Chain A
Amino acid sequence: MTLTVTDLSIARGGIPVLEGLSFVLKPGRALILRGPNGIGKTTLLRTLAGLQPSLSGRIEGAEDQIAYASHSDGLKPTLTVTENLDFWASVFGTKDIQPALDAFKLNDLSDRHAGNLSAGQKRRLGLARMLVTGRPIWMLDEPTVSLDREAVALFADTVRTHLGQGGSALIATHIDLGLEGEVLDVGANKAKPKPIEDFDGGFL
């Protein structure tokens, strides 16, 4: 599934943050999203995931193809690791959670309540969720936060396997994951303020 973004403009809280953004994400490829804090990387990912509308531009090939991982993992502290994954597996209509447990070395933790996990373990569980969605395009927002070096390597391996199976990934991160893929620096697409004459007609 190819994701094509054409001349996209997005806004956060009604204020344009990025404009004129175009890229193509082909199967088997990863795209690393870079740019200073607050530039709108999270907003871009949320827009592509369909959580918020764009101001203008086109997004093609995103419908029902995207698995999105935000800063928070959507884990329930009183459910076990297995129960958490099982839930998302049945929501996305997949059954087998074993590959996900294997990929992030969660087998030993499978009966622990998510609330008792360390921050890094929670993050691993949150990322394991991507595997049970069965969706080809991964959108990851700072996926390596609170992961140790070993877990980062696990994650990079998992993404590589995913790409090898014809999936693709759009990753907002500042560390080098050693992935094959292009880097997209959105700093150049920072929205320019509108001239004052335009502004008078509307509000923003």
Chain B
Amino acid sequence: MIALLLRDLKLAFRAGGGFGLGLAFFLIVTVLVPFSVGPQSSLLSTIAPGVLWLGALLACLLSLDRLLALDWEDGSLDLLATAPLPLEGVVTIKALAHWITTGLPLVLAAPVLGVLLNLPVPGYLWLVISLLIGTPALSVIGTFGAALTVGLKRGGLLLSLLVLPLYVPTLIFGAEVARRGAIGMETQTPLLMLAGITAATVALLPFASAAVLRINLR
């Protein structure tokens, strides 16, 4: 299991691994927002938590179609399925590797990009906390979507169509934590809901992902 995690991390950091693409996408989306809504700092600081959450979510989405498709194309998935690892473990590790290479950098970059959008000072802490708690759910849900569409040619667009509705609760509670934090409201309720979603998806969704992957492998 650890070998699989290390291999996936190594692959991501090697040339052509796609590490940093999500981060660059996040940066560009954030930079484009003031161009589209105008430079008024009051407006920007109001929408900053939501924009940063949406940007992180889209950056996450962007990298999902590589998550299992590469292993599918070169036959590694077949071989992993016949290896003595449970497929539930394989998809969990895949999601974890995706989070470390995509989610975690987004969490770390978000406060920097917050400066560009005039995020109010109390918001930084809550933005980082909400992303830190919420992005694992995005990776796990995304792995489920990737497992559903793994055998399909041009599955990328379908993957987005399937995953985006599943992202709604996470986005709502995550962005709500960041928004409330930024304007100094209490954040406990949405934070608990967000943590609950993450805990439940991490615990349960790998079973669905593995089941779906088994169906796609046959």
Contacts and interface: CB of A to CB of B under 8 A. Distances in A.
A93 B84 CA distance: 9
A76 interface: yes
A49 interface: yes
Given A70-B75, A76-B11, A51 B84 contact: no
Interface stretch (B13-21, B22-30, B96-104, B156-164): B13-21
Contacts of B217: 51-52
Q: Which 8 A-B pairs have the closest CB atoms?
A: A72-B75, A52-B218, A90-B3, A74-B76, A78-B14, A74-B75, A74-B79, A68-B82
B43 interface: no
Contact of A91 (B16, B78, B85): B85
Contacts of B73: 72
A92 B83 contact: yes
Q: Chain A interface mostly helix, strand, loop or mixed?
A: loop
A16 to B, nearest CB: 15
Interface of B: 2-4, 7, 10-11, 14-17, 71, 73-76, 78-85, 217-218
18 contacts: A46-B218, A51-B82, A52-B217, A68-B82, A70-B75, A70-B78, A70-B79, A71-B75, A72-B74, A73-B74, A74-B71, A74-B76, A79-B11, A88-B79, A91-B4, A91-B80, A92-B84, A93-B84
A120 B17 CA distance: 25
Interface residues of A, number: 29
B84 A87 contact: no
Contacts, number: 70
A151 B73 CA distance: 25
Contacts of A20: none
Nearest to A43: B218
Contacts of A68: 78-79, 82
Given A52-B218, A73-B75, A91 B3 contact: yes
A49 B217 CA distance: 12
Nearest to B1: A91
Given A49-B82, A88-B79, A79 B74 contact: no
A125 to B, nearest CB: 12
A73 B76 CA distance: 7
A68 B77 CA distance: 12
Nearest to A86: B3
A78 B11 contact: yes
Interface in A71-108: 71-76, 78-79, 83, 86-88, 90-93
A198 interface: no
B11 A74 contact: no
Nearest to B12: A78
A63 B14 CA distance: 35
